[in-house]
Structure formats: C-alpha cells, structure tokens
Amino acid sequence: QVQLVESGGGLVQPGGSLRLSCAASGSIFRAIMGWYRQAPGKQRELVAVMSSGGSTNYADSVKGRFTISRDNAKNTVYLQMNSLKPEDTAVYYCNYDAHGLRFWGQGTQVTVSS
C-alpha cells in the first residue's frame, strides 16, 4: 500500500498562486500520478495527470494555468496553480495508479476568494 500526503492548500485571492505537494510513502517511479478535485455538490474530476514517462494531460479548465511535475527521487508530485479563479475552489486529491492499484490522499482544501 502507498500512502499519499498532500500539502500546500489554503486561502488565496483570485489571480493568485499556490503550489500543492503530494508525498508518497513508496516509489512513484512507475506510477501514473494525478491530481483531482472535488467541489461541494460536484463529482470528483481530473485536474492533471503525468505518466511515468513524463507525458501530461490537463483538464481544459486549467490548461495554461496549472502545471503538474514530479520528482521521482523524492517520491513527490507537485501541482503549480497560477491565475487562480473562484471556480478552482475545491478539495484537491493526489492519486497514485500503478500495477493495477490506485491510492488516494486525504485531500487538501484550496479556496479562492477575495
């Protein structure tokens, strides 16, 4: 089992930036790592995903504003979020997907408000 711990969430004004981190308890070298979010009353949705080879995919709503990256040596994945909007407010979850297994972190709250 792989444990994931997210950090970096908080309250930010519209137009601001945040950097989320997700630290894994095991190697992420061969894993597809992703960030998802869930707003109140809505389903969880994909935000960004990065394959073990470095390919990325983003939700249309965050393209050009968010960047996913990973540091395999530190077993950590990041989500740099710029130009934040109120509609980005949600709980953000880290996801690990490898060898037929999926694990989730506990989530970190991101609130974009003036």
Give the model confidence (pLDDT) of 26-56 as tens digits: 999 999 999 999 999 999 999 999 999 999 9
What pLDDT is stored for residue 34 in this prediction? 98
In sequence order, the β-bridge partners of residue 90 are: 110
**pLDDT averaged over 10-residue windows placed end to end, the chain, 114 residues:** 96 98 96 97 97 96 98 97 98 94 96 97
**Burial call 21-60: b when 16+ CB within 10 Å, e when fewer:** bbbbeeebeebbbbbbbeeeeeeeeebbbbeeeeeeebee
The pLDDT, as a whole number, for residue 99 is: 82
What pLDDT is attached to residue 106? 96
